[in-house]
Amino acid sequence: MPDLSRSFLARLIEEGRVTVDGKKAEKPSVHVVAGQRVAVEIPPPIPTDVSSQDLPLSVLFEDDDLAVIEKPAGIVVHPAAGHADRTLVNALLFHVKNLSGIGGELRPGIVHRLDKDTSGVMVIAKHDVAHRKLAADWGTDRVRKEYLAVVYGTPKKERGKIEGPIGRDPKNRKRMSVVASGRSAITEYSIEEQLRYASLVRLRLRTGRTHQIRVHMKHLGHPIIGDPLYSGPQWRGIPDKRIQKAIASFPRQALHAARLTIPHPRTGESMTFESPLPEDMRELLAALR
């Protein structure tokens, strides 16, 4: 049973859905010898209570195993307290239909997440085998995640590496912070364009911690423009009123998942998907040039 996890098979045995030579297997530790006939009853997928909704969604690529989409800013990934519907999952159920069930009823197909106000490329698993393979590859060098961000000021070095363990901020439980007790985190950056009082920066995640880019750019002294948790109203110190207005009116963190490289879960072929900067970030750049 290479396509079924050990925990899932154990559950099927406990539910009486596995027989050995016509007799129900009593426990997951039962030994099977060559020549015995094993039958497994696979239950149908549990229908989700989450409704499909015809929300705008750009699908960059789709086959029998996965879909790659562009998540718009302002939409949460899955239903949760305060967001019962109009989430990315609601849109996926309408546009993609078949999704993996490993994430549970409220997170079908979701292999990874983007924050509500971060836009860009996401990969979605269409069945459990693809989901497990993508998840297994996620922490390896075979997966490459690149972001574009507009940050305050200009880093001293044109390119560099930010290394700082990330954990819960002891002073504000809603935020993360670089703390000694945190988990190892590495972000690489390079300056794409120097702007007026700001910079467009390309970032590569070498690890995947909560709010990693947002925390690391704050730690570097160049927080992301519009970030409600990690930047604050730094625009007030900018003498140019026009630029002040452009930054103050930007409604979200200026962070976009621009490029994602993954191995295909079935063939192993390396595949790269790109998403251009959304209109709101293009307009922000124009105002800062």
- Predicted confidence (pLDDT) per residue in 143-191, tens digit: 999 999 999 999 999 999 999 999 999 999 889 999 999 999 999 999 9
Enzyme catalytic residues = 115
- More confident of the two residues 79 and 171: 171
* Alpha carbon distance 132, 258 (integer Å): 24
The DSSP result for 131-171, as a single string, is: HHHHHHHTTSTT-EEEEEEEEES--SSSEEEEE--EEE-TT
Q: Which of 214, 244, 213, 216 is nearest to 230 (CA)?
A: 214
Q: Please state the φ and ψ torsions of residue 91, each to the nearest 5 degrees.
A: -70, -40
pLDDT digits (tens, 9 = 90+) for 25-66: 887 777 788 888 888 876 655 445 666 766 778 899 999 999
- Per CATH, the homologous superfamily of domain 145-256 is Pseudouridine synthase (3.30.2350.10)
Give the global pTM: 0.79
- Which fold is adopted by the domain 46-138? Pseudouridine synthase (3.30.2350)
| Alpha carbons 12 and 95: distance in angstroms, whole number | 31
More reliable by pLDDT, 83 or 215: 215
Report whether 75 contacts 118 (CB < 8 A): no
The domain limits of the chain are 6-40, 46-138, 145-256
